[in-house]
Structure formats: structure tokens, C-alpha cells
A = this chain, B = another copy of it.
């Protein structure tokens, strides 16, 4: 069913996501801080431009947000021209930003005062997933309207799932990033070791990817790692932002994450050596220095 939707934040993720909504037949109102990107989007897809988050929200039943971090989200939502100022009872806000669970709860409370449901909905699948409409979406929020949310996001998601109350999507995303930290550092150490041992690492990976050492990262990143190619993918700067959120949340819920904390520091070394924009798999570059 075609809906009136707003999409706020046309970055490398949001731009194609909003595009998929338009191609799926929804009426899309867009807002972006820099208007140039919004103009480009309008040249490519059909929709309406708005001059503020508030105005975007006023035009829509579903408001999607995809910005950078907690502070960006707060800025988009609050203030005179913010989303909250434009909401009407019955609207649904879906936030695709990776944020803390705290800010998700904060926003959900603010929305509740307007009889509006808020869903935190961080994604995985990266830029390629956004472009190809194959994202995975981790949802936190109310069960009552989850079907309509899943129906709309199906324009760019191959899989989405409600994981619990508001904040659960963000917490799940943190689990995702914690797993990746361990996998990538382990893989990097293995390849570093293999290279130093003079092995044909691609041949070894072909064998060991058939068993208990297998991982998505191993299958999808070992070739570029072996070539030392890191100018693509999910940037180290973003990974550190996400790990910081996870480490802070762990402090709140009493978890200990020694490997995560350590790998976060190794990413700091990657940043120092010029890798702020490199893919997360660049932990190997640090070892090979």
C-alpha cells in the first residue's frame, strides 16, 4: 500500500534507501541538511523537497531518519523546526541511525507525548546493501504497528525483525558490531601469520572456510585484505563510533568486553596511520606495518 513517507538524511545510506521508497510507489518527502544532495535526489527520483524536518514530518504518515549519531538525531528531532514539531497523532517515526539505546528511549518518550510511535531501526548490509535494497533491519518498538513498518521498509530490506521494546534494535546492532570486532581481529591475525609463514593464504582460506573458522568476513574480505585494499566498505571512524556506544552501554548494564575494548584501541592505531576511512577489515594493515 502506497504511503506518505518522509525521509530525513540523504547520506550514503539514506540516499538510496529513500530512492527505493520512491520506486516502490510511496509519496516521498525528503529533507537533507545540505540542499544540494536533496536536489540531486530529486533529479533521480520523484518526490517532494521540504525545507525543514518539521515540514517533512507534516507531509507524512511515516517519518524515516538516517543521520550520523545521537547528537544529529536530537538536532533533527527537537527545536522549532524539528520533526517533533511537525508530528500528528498516529504518525510513526522510524530511525535508521545507529545510536545509543538511551537516545532511542528519549526520542520514543518525546514521540509518545504526541501519540506517535517511535521505532529504532539500525541496519546492517552497508552501502551496497542500501543500494541493492538488501539491508537487514533490527527493530525496537511497539508490536502493534510492526507489520506496517516492516511492509514499508521492505522496499530496501530483505529482512527485518522486531527484537523487543524501543532500544532493542540498537542493542542488537551493538551485539553485531561486537561480533565483528572479534572476527576481524582474529582473521587479521591469521592472515598476518599466514603471510609471514609464506603460505598461499587464499588456498588456506578456501579450506578453512569450510569449517569452524568460517565467517562472513572471511569469505567476503580475505581477498581484499590479502591485496591490502581497504578503500571501501564500512569506515573505521564509524566502527569506532559504534564500539564506543557499545562500550558505554556495557558500562550501564554491567558487561565486560575486554576484546572489544582492545580492538577499539587497535582501530585507533589504524586511524593514526591514515585509515579513518578504510574498511573495518584494515586491522590487518596495522599488523603488517
Contact = CB atoms under 8 A, between A and B. Distances in A.
Interface of A: 101, 124-126, 129, 136, 138, 158-159, 161, 163-164, 168, 171-172, 174-187, 189-194, 196-201, 203-204, 206-208, 210-218, 220, 234, 240, 244, 246, 249-251, 253-266, 268-269, 271-273, 287, 289
B263 A264 contact: no
B272 A254 contact: yes
Contact of A212 (B180, B204, B253): B180
Contacts of A175: 190-191, 193-194, 199, 201, 204, 208, 213
How many copies are assembled?
Answer: 4
A27 B175 CA distance: 52
Contacts of A200: 163-164
A261 B101 CA distance: 22
A125 B184 CA distance: 22
A171 B197 contact: yes
A182 B186 contact: yes
A198 B187 CA distance: 30
A207 B190 CA distance: 27
Contacts of A255: 189, 192-193, 196-197, 268, 287
Contacts of A254: 196, 268, 271-272
Nearest to A165: B198
B171 A199 contact: yes
A212 B257 contact: no
Contact of A178 (B193, B206, B261): B193
A124 B256 contact: no
Nearest to A168: B199
Contact of A126 (B125, B187, B198, B212): B212
A203 B240 contact: no
A17 to B, nearest CB: 16
A279 to B, nearest CB: 10
A80 to B, nearest CB: 24
Contacts of A289: 273, 289
Contacts of A185: 182, 186, 259
A16 to B, nearest CB: 17
A38 to B, nearest CB: 29
Task: Name the 9 nearest CB pairs between A and B, nearest first.
Answer: A182-B186, A215-B215, A179-B213, A261-B261, A214-B216, A175-B190, A178-B190, A258-B265, A256-B268
Contacts of A164: 198-200, 203
B213 A124 contact: yes
A202 to B, nearest CB: 10
A284 to B, nearest CB: 12
